[in-house]
Amino acid sequence: MIEDGSETTVYLVKARNSFEDTEKWLKSNFNKIFENELNGRHTDENDWPAKRTYKLFTEWFDAEIHITVEDIEEAPIRKN
């Protein structure tokens, strides 16, 4: 959770060679994330913006790229 009490979504993707490569991947694949985030807030696709651009994505959402995920649980974590 962030300070205002809202939750964020973390997307795990295959490791890339560099931050720039990951950023390029995001620019090429933002629409899948955009649609997932819209669907989590409002499921009527008719109300979604018809033209979803990377620029609009970055205006609506804060995307952060992190290169490390630490698993500190003792039990295995399974993909659902």
* Residue range 10-45, pLDDT digits in tens: 998 988 998 899 999 999 999 999 999 999 888 999
Query: CA-to-CA distance for 47 and 13, rounded, in angstroms?
Result: 28
Query: CA-to-CA distance for 13 and 29, rounded, in angstroms?
Result: 11
What is the per-residue pLDDT for 1? 43
Query: CA-to-CA distance for 23 and 64, rounded, in angstroms?
Result: 10
The pair of structure tokens assigned to 61 is 């959402």
With 0.85 as the threshold, say if the pTM is over it. Answer: no
Domain that holds residue 31: 1-80
Query: CA-to-CA distance for 9 and 1, rounded, in angstroms?
Result: 10
Q: How many domains does the chain have?
A: 1
